[in-house]
Amino acid sequence: MLIVTGVGRCGTSLVAEYLMAIGLKTDNGRYYRAINAGHESKTALGINSGFIRSKLQNKKFDGFKEIKEFVRVENIDFVKDPQFLADTSLIKHWNAQIGVKVILMIREAEDVVKSLRNAPSMNGPNYRNYPDLIRKHQKDFIGVCYSKRIPIDIIDFPECIADPYDLFKALNITDEKQQARWFKVADKNKVHV
């Protein structure tokens, strides 16, 4: 199972849109054109939000049992959810259930903050004023992936728009037609600053 994640405003929606354009399946959520964001997995959002809520309320959470069934029934190839960075326990639980590979989209923290401030509406962790929190969450997430031997590829945004070859390598995309789809989906003019 492929997990696409990042702190927001770092290209995760673009990668999800590309993956769908080349035929990979997800339980796609809404896309918000005004802010060029969305495509979060509805089920992953539900499971991950439920876990975070339960943890905050010191309650037991049994929702991770749903992951295997969700993947089997829906026959999906990837999920996208920024919450994986907010709580590193999430990636450990998903990996324990089904085994995962991660595409982590990263962007300079100050650029993320600037873009978040300019975005009309964004959900998820409140990074609007906290570039140090962005760096901490990215570092902690990468550390957990390495320590748990979870395969992870780190892709720089917005550099990958013009130079997607690290992403193609991470996704093992060698087909020229599939690579060409990237340039139809990726648009530097849609990058919020």
* C-alpha–C-alpha distance, residues 16 and 6, integer Å: 12
- The mean pLDDT of 70-76, rounded to a whole number, is 83
Strands 37-38 and 31-32: antiparallel
> Has residue 100 got a pLDDT over 60?
yes
> Has residue 64 got a pLDDT over 90?
no
**Three state DSSP letters for 164-187:** CHHHHHHHCCCCHHHHHHHHHHCC
Q: Report the number of distinct structural domains present in the chain.
A: 1
* C-alpha–C-alpha distance, residues 6 and 152, integer Å: 12
Whether 190 maps to a domain, the answer reads no
- The mean pLDDT of 98-118, rounded to a whole number, is 90
Burial of residue 29 (CB within 10 Å: 0-12, 13-18, 19+) is middle
Determine the pLDDT at residue 63: 81
> Has residue 122 got a pLDDT over 60?
no
Whether 160 maps to a domain, the answer reads yes
Give me the CATH number covering residue 21.
Answer: 3.40.50.300
Mean pLDDT (the chain, rounded): 88
Helix, strand, coil distribution of the chain in percent, nearest 5: 55, 10, 35
> Has residue 192 got a pLDDT over 70?
no
Whether 193 maps to a domain, the answer reads no
Whether 129 maps to a domain, the answer reads yes
Whether 103 maps to a domain, the answer reads yes
Whether 152 maps to a domain, the answer reads yes
What residues form DSSP beta bridges with 138? none
Whether 192 maps to a domain, the answer reads no
Q: Which domain holds residue 44?
A: 2-185
Burial of residue 153 (CB within 10 Å: 0-12, 13-18, 19+) is middle
Reported as a single tens digit per residue, the pLDDT across 177-186 is: 999 999 999 9
* C-alpha–C-alpha distance, residues 129 and 140, integer Å: 19
Q: How far is CA 86 from CA 22, 98, 124, 127, 192, in A?
A: 29, 20, 9, 10, 22
Determine the pLDDT at residue 73: 80
Taking alpha carbons only, the member of 21, 41, 35, 152 closest to residue 88 is: 152
pLDDT > 90 in the chain, percent: 58
Per-residue confidence band for 91, with pLDDT thresholds at 50, 70 and 90: very high
Greatest CA separation found in the chain? 50
Reported as a single tens digit per residue, the pLDDT across 3-16 is: 999 988 899 999 99
Whether 144 maps to a domain, the answer reads yes
- The mean pLDDT of 95-122, rounded to a whole number, is 86
